[in-house]
């Protein structure tokens, strides 16, 4: 299912993969494409019956901008599946393939224009306006048993993408941070899987404070550690008069 809001469509393709496009598909932006077989047709749920987009062999090659928030979501195959011929790869500066046993290709090895960004960037690529925001786990948030954050500060970012006057926010793999509630966004796409990021309860509290026009949750039910009750999340938000769409099949 694709959610349409004003002149923008937002689609969750599985795991953290999000596609944002203007009404005429003149500009297409992807965030964190791939991993776990969600774009290769190989993904299967750990628990039958969970809500999640079905795995498909997805290779549209229509992306004008492809954004990567941090190491965990860097997938060269996924990037190349969605990137158009003249695409720009926007990748957080902390992505370091030397830390990743699963990939060999660095961003610079891909046949794409590459733009490295920190967590406080503000720029435009064609008709897309992009802004980055910090993304990390807090010491009292989601941490390993030894107290180390799964996503330390300075290792990743979130993205705000504005197309046709509509701003879509994917905050990245993060806990709720100071300043999130003050972001001016139209479509909020929070992770709700918990374990490594904010969970559905924390995301609902943030959405109520943020007051976007619609919420489209992603980054849940891809594997057991990310399982979340999306129907309960939607009911929770609707009880707070926050509009929500479940972009899953």
Q: What is the spatial distance between Cα 72 and Cα 136, in angstroms, rounded to a whole number?
A: 13
Residue ranges of domains in the chain: 2-239
- Tell me: the pLDDT tens digits for 180-225? 999 999 999 999 999 999 999 999 999 999 999 999 999 999 999 9
pLDDT at 122: 98
Give the CATH number of domain 2-239.
3.60.15.10
DSSP notation for 199-222: BHHHHHHHHHHH--SEE--BS-SS
For residue 249, pLDDT beyond 60: no
* Nearest in space to 121 (alpha carbons), one of 113, 132, 110: 132
Average pLDDT over residues 117-133: 98
pLDDT at 1: 66
pTM for the full predicted model: 0.96
Higher pLDDT, 2 or 44: 44
Q: What does DSSP assign to residue 87?
A: E
């Amino acid at each position: 299912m694709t959610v349409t809001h004003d002149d923008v469509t937002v689609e969750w393709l599985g795991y953290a993969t999000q596609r944002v496009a203007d009404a005429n598909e003149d500009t297409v932006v992807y965030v964190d494409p791939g991993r776990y077989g969600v774009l290769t047709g190989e993904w299967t749920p750990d628990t039958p019956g969970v809500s999640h987009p079905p795995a498909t062999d997805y290779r549209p090659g229509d992306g004008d901008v492809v954004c990567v928030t941090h190491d965990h979501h860097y997938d060269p195959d996924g990037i190349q599946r969605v990137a158009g011929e003249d695409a720009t790869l926007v990748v957080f500066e902390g992505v370091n393939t030397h830390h990743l046993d699963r990939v060999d290709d660095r961003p610079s090895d891909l046949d794409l224009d590459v733009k490295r960004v920190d967590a406080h960037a503000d720029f435009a690529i064609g008709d897309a306006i992009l802004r980055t925001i910090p993304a990390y786990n807090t010491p009292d948030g989601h941490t390993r048993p030894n107290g180390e954050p799964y996503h330390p500060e300075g290792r990743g970012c979130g993205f705000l993408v504005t197309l046709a006057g509509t701003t879509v926010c994917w905050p990245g793999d993060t806990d709720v941070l100071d300043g999130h509630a003050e972001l001016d966004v139209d479509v909020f796409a929070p992770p709700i899987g918990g374990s490594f990021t904010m969970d559905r309860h924390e995301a609902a509290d943030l959405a109520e404070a943020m007051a976007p026009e619609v919420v489209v949750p992603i980054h849940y039910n891809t594997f057991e550690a990310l399982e979340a009750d999306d129907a309960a999340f939607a009911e929770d938000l609707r009880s707070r008069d926050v509009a929500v769409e479940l972009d899953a099949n």
